[in-house]
Each structure stands twice: as structure tokens, then as C-alpha cells.
Amino acid sequence: GEDVEQSLFLSVREGDSSVINCTYTDSSSTYLYWYKQEPGAGLQLLTYIFSNMDMKQDQRLTVLLNKKDKHLSLRIADTQTGDSAIYFCAEPFRGGNTPLVFGKGTRLSVIA
């Protein structure tokens, strides 16, 4: 199947950490991606991780990959109100360089 699963909503307080989880289906995926969509805008590539890595850190963002469980997570440290957006997990369908399949998106709300 091609389903990428995410919880739909997450609410955190400003300054706390946010953790957005995703499960994917294709074990042959070479890269896995996180995209951010702000209201009225297109999707912006946040970060990606190669499948031979367990973790990738980029400033406030930490991506964890558990290949055994096909689980991907995005941690945002010191969450700010500007982080409020929809976050999409994505993987290439059937691996390789095929079109990305996106999860349903997690709407992150940051409470001041």
C-alpha cells in the first residue's frame, strides 16, 4: 500500500518541544521528507533523511528514523508561534525517484 499515516492535530505551548510522528509503508524508500505548509501557501521542504541514517539534526529540528518499525518523527525544539502550520511526512511511492506520497498532515497549533 501507499499509505503514510500521521496524527491530524497537535497542540503545544510556546517554548515546549513538539514531536510529530509518521509511519510509512515502503521499506525501500531511500529518502523520507518533512514538509511544512503555512496558511494559504504551498509546501516548503523542511528537512529530509536518508534511509541509512537514524537521526538528523538541523538547528531546532531533529528527525528520527526507525526503519524496523517504519516510523519517522520530527521534533521541533523550543516551539514558537511561527511554527504553527501543517506538517507533512512524505515518501516516494514504491521507492526510487517516483512521485512523493504525502501523509494527511499534522496541524500544529502553538499556544502562546
Partner 1 sequence: DTAVSQTPKYLVTQMGNDKSIKCEQNLGHDTMYWYKQDSKKFLKIMFSYNNKELIINETVPNRFSPKSPDKAHLNLHINSLELGDSAVYFCASSPPARGGYTFGSGTRLTVV
The residues that touch partner 1, with contacts defined as CB under 8 A, are 31, 33, 35, 37, 41-45, 48, 86, 88, 92-93, 97-102, 104-105, 107
3-state secondary structure of 83: helix
Task: Pick the closer one to partner 1 by CB: 24 or 33.
Answer: 33
Q: Sign of the CA dihedral 98, 33, 70, 105?
A: negative
Residue 112 Cβ vs partner 1, minimum distance, rounded to whole Å: 23
**Shortest Å, Cβ 15 to partner 1:** 26
CB 47 to partner 1: min, Å = 10
C-beta closer to partner 1: residue 56 or 93: 93
Q: Are 90 and 106 in contact (CB under 8 A)?
A: no
Q: Where are the alpha helices (DSSP H) in the chain?
A: none
Strands 106-111 and 9-13: parallel
